Amino acid sequence: MTDRWALAPAEDGGAEIAPLGPDGLLAGPVLWEPDLATAVRARPEVARWVWRSTAEVYPRLLAAGVRVERCYDVEDAETLLLGHEGRSGEPRSAAAALARLRGGPVPPDPPQRAAVPGSQSSLFEPRPVHVPLPDLVEVYAEQQRRHEATDRPERMRLLTAAESAGMLVAAEMNRAGLPWSAEVHRRVLHELLGERYAGGGEPRRLAELADEVSAAFGRRVRPDLPADVVKAFAQAGIKVRSTRRWEIRSIDHPAVKPLLEYKKLYRIWVAHGWSWLQDWVRDGRFRPEFQAGGTVTGRWVTNGGGALQIPKVIRRAVVADPGWRLVVADADQMEPRVLAAMSRDPGLMEVAGRETDLYQSVSDRAFSGNRDQAKLAVLGAVYGQTSGDGLKNLAALRRRFPKAVAYVDDAARAGEEGRLVRTWLGRTCPPAARPGGDAAEEAGIPQDDPAETGTGPGSSSGSGSEWVPGYASTNARARGRFARNFVVQGSAADWALLLLAGLRQACAGMAAELVFFQHDEVIVHCPEEEAATVVAAIREAAETAGRLTFGQTPVRFPFTTAVVECYADAK
């Protein structure tokens, strides 16, 4: 009985398929089917489809009304395996993997293409790169061996499986779209911004605020031009380095209030205003292009539409279909819970073993009940705060939760020293650039300034401590912060992928659809009568994901759930 099959779109529009054996190699002849959907539909017993790229194959299957239970995305796995092997700079296409296997010239990856509003085509390839099925299977079998060669094969297998599942979820979400009421959206815009004027200029409310700002300065000022605002403040005798909110906020000047209001509304106008509505909403659905595994940490990104930055006021436009509901579920304090599970800090595991507010519990133990301080300290530890009140709070946190803080401190040190840093399941943060590799820089990892590196002992602080590569660089500290955050944010993303996979399976027999995912928050659109089942499925999937990811752990992963007709009504 074969449960894994490989599938490759053929150049004639058909599909090549073949069963795979336990070793991942071909276990039968390569068959031909006239199209992808026919090939899959005829084989409901297949438990996992192995293919080159989910983004290439799955939207076409969904368009034909065909879903699959599981898949294995060879190119995604290649990315994760290369990263784990410390080779993140190398091309990750199946063709490149094959070339490496056979010792031929390795083709570079095709460039990514920008998003087009309303389009639903896949993101990664301008045109599909055909890889014949036997070649694909060869790469796959080798990948199976590479999983076994890692230090934690079971975790690596879980990681690639989870991320492949995430790709299925993303494709399904892209197809479903987020229910969106253009009418409500327009009403919100009108309430906030006033009427639009002909010619596409600022709406009434923004024009009024700009006038107020100008009146306060005594001359014409365009509040959307930082340079203009800085100059205006200077003329009023106030030096500001920028026009950021936190810097402007505390200034005592009559222009400040309308200026801050302008900036808030301007942002909504340009990023989620009428033209956004025109570009991104069709037939009652907002269709962003969700991209699983779009970041180094494993968080998703969306391409176009700013789906992960929908302002709270605009969420009023997310409205369920008649008779349907939105189940909005938000993981409670996910990152410290993940840190507790990873570090096995006894104190933090104890507070994370409850479903009650974790920050309150931490504050009771280490901050005399001051929840805000506790939250800042925890987030500071995770984000790498290195100065200010945060340092004092961090010291208090370290006294009570030493193993937890040591866990992120170790990651930070590894990052500073340019070593590989991994999430719990083995997703790997590229190290600082070495000669011949530039993947880390492309991925946004802080790099050494060439002028600062390679200078050896004596060039840094002069402390006399042992010199380590990169430590002399100021960017080494930034890399440390990156790594510190990476282990927590990335491991949380590992867990979230398994949550999504479980929830997707639970929804499989229902009309319910996953329609939104934002790091630690998920929205399911379902008929009213399914809502209670969906709520239970989320709780179940969260605990299962915790056990799968971290093994035996007392840490709980509670969700706050709300069954609503409008997203804005959740919590």
Partner DNA sequence: AGTTTCGGCGCC
Partner DNA sequence: AAAGGGCGCCGAAACT
- Tell me the C-alpha distance between 545 and 161, whole Å: 13
Interface with DNA (CB under 7 A), residue total 61
> What does the alpha-carbon distance between residue 410 and residue 416 come to, in Å, rounded to a whole number?
10
> Which single residue is written with the structure tokens 């403040």?
233
Any contact of residue 413 with DNA (CB under 7 A)? no
Judged by CB under 7 A, does residue 243 bind DNA? yes
The residue (of 230 and 420) whose beta carbon lies closer to DNA is 230
Map the footprint of DNA across residues 505-524, applying CB under 7 A. Answer: 518-521
Give the 3-state secondary structure of residue 511. Answer: coil
CB of 310 to DNA, least distance (A): 6
Nearest to 294 by CA among 280, 308, 281: 308
CB of 296 to DNA, least distance (A): 4
Closer Cβ to DNA, 75 or 330, answer by number = 330
Q: Which is nearer to DNA, 494 or 520 (CB)?
A: 520
Q: Which two tokens stand for residue 234?
A: 């200077």
Instruction: Tell me how far, at minimum, the Cβ of 49 lies from DNA, in Å.
Output: 27
**Distance in Å, CB of 389 to DNA, minimum:** 6
SS3 297: coil
Rounded Cα gap, residues 508 and 497, in angstroms: 17
**What Å distances lie between residue 219 and 255, 260, 431, 473, CA to CA?**
11, 18, 51, 45
Under the binding rule (CB under 7 A), the answer on residue 316 touching DNA is no
- Distance of closest approach, residue 6 Cβ to DNA, in angstroms: 30
Residues 112-171 that bind DNA (CB under 7 A): 115
Contact 487, 148 (CB under 8 A): no
Q: Is residue 184 within 8 Å of residue 450, measured between CB atoms?
A: no
Task: Return the residue of 126, 444, 458, 551 that touches DNA, per CB under 7 A.
Answer: 444
Residue 240 Cβ, how far from DNA at the closest point, in Å?
8
Pick 144 or 243: Cβ nearer DNA:
243
Query: Judged by CB under 7 A, which of 187, 220, 245, 257 binds DNA?
Result: 245
Positions in 365-384 near DNA (CB under 7 A):
379-380, 383-384
Give the residue, chosen from 11, 183, 389, 529, that forms a contact with DNA under the rule CB under 7 A.
Answer: 389
The minimum distance between CB 213 and DNA, in angstroms, equals 13
Query: How many Cβ atoms are within 10 Å of 241's Cβ, its own excluded?
Result: 7
Q: Is 295 in the site for DNA (CB under 7 A)?
A: yes
The encoded tokens of residue 492 equal 């949380």
Binder among 93, 122, 302, 475 for DNA (CB under 7 A): 302
Long-range contacts of 181-186 (CB under 8 A, 24+ apart): 181/284, 181/317, 181/318, 181/319, 182/277, 182/281, 182/284, 182/317, 184/316, 184/317, 184/319, 184/566, 185/277, 185/281, 185/314, 185/316, 185/317, 186/274, 186/277
Sole binder of DNA in the list 235, 242, 278, 560 (CB under 7 A):
242
Binding-site member from 207, 271, 277, 468 for DNA (CB under 7 A)? 271
Shortest separation between residue 499's beta carbon and DNA, angstroms: 13
Q: Does 304 bind DNA (CB under 7 A)?
A: yes
Rounded to whole angstroms, the Cα distance separating 172 from 479 reads 35
Give the one residue of 276, 324, 517, 567 binding DNA; rule: CB under 7 A. 276
CB of 430 to DNA, least distance (A): 10
Where does this chain touch DNA (CB under 7 A) — which range of 310-318, 321-329, 361-369, 505-513?
310-318
Q: Does the protein bind DNA through residue 566 (CB under 7 A)?
A: no
Which one of 151, 237, 312, 435 is in contact with DNA (CB under 7 A)?
Answer: 312
Count of CB atoms situated within 10 Å of the CB of 333: 21
Candidates 251, 262, 249, 264; CA nearest to 210 is: 262
Neighbours of 200 (CB within 10 A): 8
Tell me whether strands 281-282 and 285-286 are parallel, antiparallel or unpaired.
Answer: antiparallel
Q: Is 110 in the site for DNA (CB under 7 A)?
A: no
Q: Interaction with DNA in 477-506: which residues (CB under 7 A)?
A: 478, 481-482, 485-486, 489
Q: Taking contact as CB under 7 A, which single stretch among the options 44-52, 118-126, 231-239, 299-307 is the one that binds DNA?
A: 299-307
Binding mask 185-224 for DNA (x = CB under 7 A): ---------------------------------------x
Cβ atoms 48, 4 nearer than 8 A: yes
User: Number of helices and strands (H, E) in the chain?
Assistant: 21, 16
Cβ atoms of residues 381 and 405 within 8 Å: yes
Q: Does 226 bind DNA (CB under 7 A)?
A: yes
Least distance in Å: CB of 366 to DNA?
A: 18
For DNA, which is the closer residue by CB, 51 or 517? 517
If one asks whether residue 227 binds DNA (CB under 7 A), the answer comes out as yes
* Distance separating alpha carbons of residues 160 and 214, to the nearest angstrom: 56
Q: How far apart are CA 113 and CA 383, in angstroms?
A: 31
Q: Kindly give the pairing relationship between strand 48-51 and strand 71-73.
A: parallel
Q: Which is nearer to DNA, 190 or 519 (CB)?
A: 519
Point out which residues bind DNA (CB under 7 A). 115, 224-228, 230, 242-246, 248, 263-264, 267, 270-271, 275-276, 279, 294-297, 299, 301-306, 308-312, 379-380, 383-390, 443-446, 478, 481-482, 485-486, 489, 518-521
